[in-house]
Structure formats: C-alpha cells, structure tokens
Amino acid sequence: MREHPAQATPHDAEVARFGAMRRALMRARDEGQRKWGSDFIDLSGSAPLAAWPSDDAVAGALAVGRPTRGYGAPEGTPAARAAAARYFSRSTGVPFGPENVLITAGALGGLSATLATVCRPGHDVAVATPYYHAHPSLVELAGGRAVRVAAGGDGRIGPSALAGQEPQALLFANPANPTGVTYDRRQVAALAAGLPAGAPIVVDEVYADYVYQPGDFASVAEVLPADDAARWAVVRSASKTLGRPGLRIGVVLGPARLVEAIADRVAALTGAASLPAQEAFVSGLAEITEVDHVRPYRRRLDVAMALCRRLGLTAQPPQGAYFLWVDGSGAGHLDTAVRLCAEAGVFAWPGAYFGATSHLRVSLAVPLRSLETGLERIAASLTAKRTDDGRLPVS
Ligand SMILES: Cc1ncc(COP(=O)(O)O)c(C=O)c1O
C-alpha cells in the first residue's frame, strides 16, 4: 500500500470539500443509471447483506406508537443500554455496565458528540489516512483540525507515524473502512503508547463484528483501562451489527465519566435516539448471539481476489469489513469514478473520498454476479485508459 503524506488542512474546508465531492459522484451515478438502465452496476453499498431482527419484528417495534408520545433520556433507554452492555461485554470480554454505554442517533451521532467532548477549538486531531470520509469533517465540526496521518505499507498507522506530531487526540477506524485492515491488541496498545499522555483516543469500531480471523482485531476497550481518568471511546452501530442503517442507532462505549460528559453533548446536539428504533435494537441484539456476520462475504472475497489476480488488478485481502481496496495508478481520482459511471456503467467510491487517490473501494455487499461483472468492467476500463507510462490520464 502506498504512502499518503501527512498534512494539515485549512480549518473550514472539510465539510464543503466532501459535500462537493459527494454531490458530483451522486450526479455521475444518477446519469450512469439513466444511461445504462438495469445494466448499471453499483459497487458502492455499505449496508450489510443480512439484517436482524426479522422485518416483522422491526415492524412490530416501530408500529407501537406509545414511545413516540414522550422524550427519551439522551443516554438511551435503560433497556437499550442494558442490552448493549450485555452484547458488547460478551463480544469484547470487557465487563461493561449501562453507565459505560450511550445509545446515539447512529454512529455518526455518537462520533460527533464524542468529538465535541474530547476536542477543543484549535486542537490537532490525528486522523488515520485513508479515513472514513466523515472523519475529517467531524473533527472540523468539533472545532479541531484534522491532521492526516498516513498509513504505512501495511495499511496501518503506527507510533512512528505519530512521532513528532504531538496530536491532542486520535481518531481511527478499526476495522478500517475503506481498506479493511484491522489492528490487533499489540498494534492498538502501541498506538496508544505513541500518543502524548492524556490525549483521548476515539475508535470507530462499527465493523468489529465483521472480522475474518478473530485474533486480528482488538477493541481499544480490551486494551486500555476504564478508570475515571481514562480518555478513550469506542463507537459501534446497529447499521452494521444488525444490518439496519435505517434504524439510525449507534452506541458509544467508554469509561463512565467520559460517557457522562458525552451524554451532555448528546442532550444538546441530537437529543435521544428514536425510541421505537431503540426497541427494535434490543430485539435485534437478542437474535444475533450465534451469528457469523462475515459468512456472506467469505465466498465473495475468494471469488473477487481470484478475479482480481486474473484481471491484473491488485488488492490486499481485507482482515475486516466487506470492501476490497483496489490499487491502480490514478484509479481513485474523482474523474476516474465519474468516467467509470458513464463509460463502464459501474460505480464504486473513489479513493479520493477517503483521502487516497491511489485506490478505489469495491463493496462485497452486492450480488456475486454484480461483483464479478463490475470488476471485469473496472479492469477493462482502467486498462483501456492507461497511457504509455501505465498511468490513468486524469483531467
Ligand atoms: C467506518 C464507519 N463509521 C461510521 C459509519 C456511520 O455509521 P452509522 O450508520 O451508524 O451512522 C459508517 C457507515 O458506513 C462507517 O463505515
């Protein structure tokens, strides 16, 4: 994986820049869909293929009007906090109580309240790059400066990447979207040790249920103590854990004192997460104790990796999540994605959206046939566009 140089960005530029990029890409996708009709292939999906609980159970929870007659506590309902504490205690081995849990309006609601808590105006927040597209904007909205920290050859950031930066906080995803790399216990501990003393760590762990080899991933909650002085927070999501992004339920886990401070921001930012959605969340968690979240993706991953090799596309198999981070000089430019929509009838998020123009992100959460045809079209288009020096011409 290539190096992406660390750089700071102007304080007010992030939200506008990502907004413009997203709108341009959505326009290109719409136009591609109009041109190609049912032959258009969308490889951008980030919603899982499977969902829990059943649609009937969700319909039941949402049909009960009573909860919508009142306000909920910004911390979440006692039932949802207790159910989340049980589920995440079991999956991490960390004894969480309800006081360690906040139920939020999606992971994004949880991340924004958490960053509003740990970030002060002008703080430098180290953001592992490639990043989930919203991370720099979230830092900016919290008044901080997103300082891109480049992943090394293995796709991860390590303590040496932080050396000399003295960031006031760290934000990274584990497992990472878009690259699919994970950090194990040793790597998380080393990163924490590489930060200035007391600097908070916010870890976006929404894909924690989607890890192909369990030992490859460790939650920061398993690595750092949860005493009163501790300054780490974990964000999880029903969008991934239950495959139901439309519920808009996220979870923040952390030391009780920090969780209390984050709840104060939730009370001012979004208020309580939807109460009927919290009921559906509780039913869903009860259903997934024996679920193998990655099962639908193992075969897709094997097929996609074999196909990439045959087509001359380079990709490292992910350790987590359900994306393939496909390498190709210039493949991740915005213009390349726009051209793929029009000329190849296929859409995938370009690396530019994640801070790395060297790659594009292909979702495995699509029908197998779409994945195969989509990769074939991407390979054909990228190859056809190469100039003599092997680069993609980018206008
Ligand atoms: C890494 C990462 N963080 C956060 C989110 C947002 O999650 P939510 O739908 O719970 O707001 C996503 C959604 O795809 C994601 O990939």
Q: Quote the ligand 1 centre to 38 CA distance (angstroms).
A: 28
Backbone dihedral region for residue 347 (phi beyond 0: left; psi -120 to 50: alpha; all else: beta): beta
- Asked if the model's pLDDT at residue 274 lies above 60, the reply is yes
Asked if 340 and 42 touch (Cβ cutoff 8 Å), the reply is: no
CA distance 275 to 64: 10
101 CB-side CA count, 13 A: 25
Q: What is the pLDDT of residues 89-133, one digit of tens each?
A: 999 999 999 999 999 999 999 999 999 999 999 999 999 999 999
- φ/ψ of 292, rounded to 5, equals -95, 95
Q: What is the pLDDT of residues 227-236, one digit of tens each?
A: 888 899 999 9
Q: Give the position, in ligand 1's atom list, of the atom nearest the Cα of 238.
A: 10
The distance of Cα 221 from the centroid of its chain, to the nearest Å, equals 18
Question: In the chain, where does DSSP find H-type helix?
Answer: 14-36, 55-63, 78-92, 106-118, 134-141, 159-162, 185-193, 220-223, 238-241, 256-269, 275-287, 295-311, 334-339, 368-385
CA distance 332 to 350: 4
Q: Return the sign of the alpha-carbon dihedral for residues 110, 317, 25, 335.
A: positive
Number of alpha helices (DSSP H) and beta strands (DSSP E) in the chain: 14, 14
Q: Which CATH architecture describes the domain 55-287?
A: 3-Layer(aba) Sandwich (3.40)
CA distance 382 to 360: 11
User: What 3-state class would DSSP assign to 363?
Assistant: strand
> In testing the pocket of ligand 1, which one of 135, 177, 269 has its CB within 8 Å of the most ligand atoms?
177
- Asked if the model's pLDDT at residue 351 lies above 80, the reply is yes
| Pocket of ligand 1 contains residue 204 by CB under 6 Å | yes
Q: Return the sign of the alpha-carbon dihedral for residues 280, 175, 137, 23.
A: negative
Question: In 312-394, where does DSSP find H-type helix?
Answer: 334-339, 368-385
Q: What is the pLDDT of residues 206-259, one digit of tens each?
A: 999 999 999 999 999 999 998 888 899 999 999 999 999 999 999 999 999 999
What would the mean pLDDT of 24-30 be, rounded to a whole number? 98
CA distance 112 to 207: 18
Question: Model's pTM, two decimal places?
Answer: 0.94
CA distance 139 to 67: 33
Domain-wise residue ranges, the chain: 9-50+293-385, 55-287
Find, among 376, 386, 340, 390, the residue nearest to 25 by Cα. Answer: 340
Q: What is the pLDDT of residues 139-194, one digit of tens each?
A: 999 999 999 999 999 999 999 999 888 999 999 999 999 999 999 999 999 999 99
CATH 3.30.365.10 for domain 9-50+293-385, yes or no, is: no
| Pocket of ligand 1 contains residue 206 by CB under 6 Å | yes
pLDDT band at residue 388 under the 50/70/90 scheme: low
Q: Give the position, in ligand 1's atom list, of the atom nearest the Cα of 109.
A: 11
CA distance 196 to 306: 43
CA distance 66 to 60: 12
Q: What is the pLDDT of residues 41-65, one digit of tens each?
A: 999 999 999 999 999 988 988 887 7
| Pocket of ligand 1 contains residue 239 by CB under 6 Å | yes
Q: Give the position, in ligand 1's atom list, of the atom nearest the Cα of 249.
A: 10
> In testing the pocket of ligand 1, which one of 131, 206, 270, 278 has its CB within 8 Å of the most ligand atoms?
206
Asked if 209 and 91 touch (Cβ cutoff 8 Å), the reply is: yes
| Beta partners for residue 299, in sequence order | none
